[in-house]
Chains A and B, each alone.
Chain A
Amino acid sequence: KQEVTQIPAALSVPEGENLVLNCSFTDSAIYNLQWFRQDPGKGLTSLLLIQSSQREQTSGRLNASLDKSSGRSTLYIAASQPGDSATYLCAVRWETSGSRLTFGEGTQLTVNP
């Protein structure tokens, strides 16, 4: 079964800290992987997309990496700010599952001033 897991479920850090969010997936035959941010009760904002042939993508203070062989992706956030507080979701599109995204349950991040 194709599943996505995110650990930890919640993370609290002081402002300014660099942090890593983890995403693991059960089938390495992925098509691409997206990281999203969701604020409480709000929509999903796409942060980064990594294609299956790529190892990492960067946008500002965010860096996402992909290791298909180990079934893992990480989202690195540099110099965290209180405004980064949100739930971060990892979503995988697999080669064999059409164009649908399968989401992890997310990591709820709190950055304390």
Chain B
Amino acid sequence: AAGVIQSPRHLIKEKRETATLKCYPIPRHDTVYWYQQGPGQDPQFLISFYEKMQSDKGSIPDRFSAQQFSDYHSELNMSSLELGDSALYFCASSHRQGRGETQYFGPGTRLLVL
């Protein structure tokens, strides 16, 4: 079965640089989520999109922005990177179907900021 695809899988950036993470949801899924998992921590919700519109916003820094495109893929843009942005970034997707809605996670993008 098709899974959530994330690219790149690994990314190394310098402080103050920018990064763009991409997410391709499972086909026919209408909702995309972004989570950040710091070292030794649990995933924290950043932002979500439903049918290409922002649906919820969590603890996402103002330096970050995201969007969902017409083909339902999503991109997370990160600017003025800081050392503390080093983390594993997950994208998840789901098909809106009430209480049985399962979020399926991608393999993550590991970002290292030097």
CB-CB nearest in chain B for A106:
B42
Q: B73 near A: Cβ within 8 Å?
A: no
- Interface of A with B (CB < 8 Å)? 31-32, 34, 36, 41-46, 49, 51-53, 89, 91, 98-106
CA distance A31 to B43 in the complex (A): 19
Would B55 and A99 count as touching, CB distance under 8 A? yes
- Interface of B with A (CB < 8 Å)? 31, 33, 35, 41-45, 48, 50, 55-56, 58, 88, 90, 92, 94, 99-108, 110
**Tally of A-B Cβ pairs under 8 angstroms:** 63
Question: In the complex, what's the smallest C-beta–C-beta distance from A108 to chain B, in angstroms?
Answer: 10
Residues of B within 8 A of A100 (CB): 33, 45, 48, 56, 58
Name the contact of A53 in the complex, choosing from B41, B56, B99, B110 (C-beta under 8 A): B99
